[in-house]
Structure 1
Amino acid sequence: MQEDRQVADALEHVFAADSTIYQERGFQRRVGFGERPALVHIDLANAWTRPGHAFSCDHMDVIIPAVQRLNVAARAKGCPIVYTTTAYDVVDGSVSDMGLWAQKIPLETLAIGSEAVAIDDRIAPEPGEQVIVKKRASGFHGTNLSSFLNAQGVDTVIVTGVTMAGCVRHSVEDAIAEGFRPIVVREAVGDRVPGVVQWNLFDLDAKFGDVESVDRVVEYLEQIAPFESRAGVRAAA
């Protein structure tokens, strides 16, 4: 689309200038890959991945195949795979668990147990893979994600999903705060508004994690040793 191309051209001009500022001030360093990665897929449920929902995002024809590739590579090495979805037990009345966030966005469409909040069956979890229900933007906020990853000895989180400006961004910021190396997969993240993905990829890469192509991440996953959980190693000892 012409609008997308115009936005991309404008952002490239901005990024060139901003990169100079960041580099002069010591930003844009690399956290790099660790040795024990997990995939963390943020909100790749039907309300975000399928058309016709209030939360529907663009470019699923690119995101879904990228996630499929990552899943194949990660499963071959036994890496933990975690999915999040955002869902609520009570979507009306004064005792709703949606909180004040519902005054900004239509959380009432995300009822727990509904088809809308189920993970897209094109990238469906396999037995043993975690699906975490969250109430807030970050996959870490108020969930057991950090403790689960720590129990598995994970040092790197490979992040995909939507939305780039919201739940993905907050999850990446929390990941590095919790001591994990965040790797954001360029082709496997999305949003609804032109330019939002590109800007947030640029800004996260400068401050909070590394942005890498799906080809580079798949290559990394293919090169690592097979994954064993910390608990499994203890039991064997």
Structure 2
Amino acid sequence: MERDFEDHCWKDVMSPEDLALYTPYRRETYVGQRPALLAIDLYNSAYQGGARPVHEVAKEFPSACGEYAWNAIEPTKQLLAMAHARGLPVVYTTKEQRKEALPHKTQSTNRRGGRTGEDPWGIFDAFKPEPDDLTIYKVRASGFFGTPLIAHLTQYGVDTVIVCGESTSGCVRASVADAYSYGFHVVVVEECTYDRSLLSHKVNLFDMHHKYADVMHMDEVAEHLEAFPEV
């Protein structure tokens, strides 16, 4: 069933006046002919504390996204499985851990520390990269900033970057804006992205949908990917 352009999670927070204001942005959404999957920061620290409400887990694990992260596990597994089955390039990002590569004087925030658990920046077990997948280590929000990501995507011949991961308002949005700026068509999979703040998640998806990307539901993306032969 074809969905309305605004049939997304932000419907309950955007006013009719705001939706009307963005009417000129209505268009057909799509996945291009040479897509790659970019999985943003699917690391352990986002899942620590389990599938509890964020306000509970954040007391112990400030980087955790609680139930929002856990709700996205199954659709993200489905997305990764479809990409792998069709031989799409799959790229993960995570935090750079080498001390000599980290910025020493400039930090974006002074958020308090907390427990990080074992291997906080390793990819969560449900999404472990396969041998041919690429992992990009970054020191800033965008997966493109100061990394070789654009070189790899160019070498792959990619025309579309499908994005999943976290957080919607932070590293996902920064990476989406850069991918758009580099000339890629960008697809953000709604059910496969999440944020500590549900409001930030919804508003940032709305912004990206009308500025940088096609926000699509998982079943819509799956329908497009099913047209690609399995390898």
TM-score, structure 2 as length reference: 0.82
Instruction: Give how far 1:60 is off.
Output: 2.3
Any conservation in 1 of the 2:82–2:222 contact (CA below 8 Å)?
yes
Name the CA shift for 1:10/1:108 in 2 (closer, same or farther; >3 Å): closer
Instruction: Give how far 1:144 is off.
Output: 0.8
Name the CA shift for 1:12/1:145 in 2 (closer, same or farther; >3 Å): same
Give the paired residue count. 213
Match of 2:226 among 219, 222, 229: 222
Match of 1:124 among 121, 124, 128: 128
Any conservation in 2 of the 1:11–1:195 contact (CA below 8 Å)?
no
Any conservation in 2 of the 1:159–1:172 contact (CA below 8 Å)?
yes
Equivalences for 1:1-237 in 2 at 5 Å?
Answer: 12=12, 14-23=14-23, 26-29=24-27, 32-51=30-49, 52-58=60-66, 59-90=68-99, 96-101=102-107, 103-105=109-111, 115-225=119-229
The separation in 2 between residues aligned to 1:115 and 1:60, in whole angstroms, is: 17
Any conservation in 1 of the 2:10–2:206 contact (CA below 8 Å)?
no
Instruction: Give how far 1:90 is off.
Output: 2.4
Give the residue type in structure 2 aligned to 1:37.
Answer: P
Name the CA shift for 1:100/1:107 in 2 (closer, same or farther; >3 Å): farther
Give the residue type in structure 2 aligned to 1:104.
Answer: N
Structure 2 SS opposite 1:117: coil
Structure 2 SS opposite 1:34: coil
List runs of 5+ in structure 2 lacking aligned partners: 1-7, 50-59
| RMSD of Structure 2 on Structure 1 (CA) | 2.7
Give the residue type in structure 2 aligned to 1:65.
Answer: E
- Among all aligned residue pairs of Structure 1 and Structure 2, give the percentage whose two residues are the same amino acid: 35
| Cα deviation code 1:196-237 (max 9, x no counterpart) | 11111111101110000111111211112468xxxxxxxxxx
* Greater shift in the superposed pair: 209-218 or 45-54: 45-54
Structure 1 SS opposite 2:172: helix
Structure 1 SS opposite 2:30: coil
List runs of 5+ in structure 1 lacking aligned partners: 1-7, 228-237
Q: Which runs of 4+ in 1 moved over 6 A?
A: 8-11, 107-110
Instruction: Give how far 1:15 is off.
Output: 4.1
Greater percentage in helix: 1
| Cα deviation code 1:171-211 (max 9, x no counterpart) | 11111101111100000111112311111111110111000
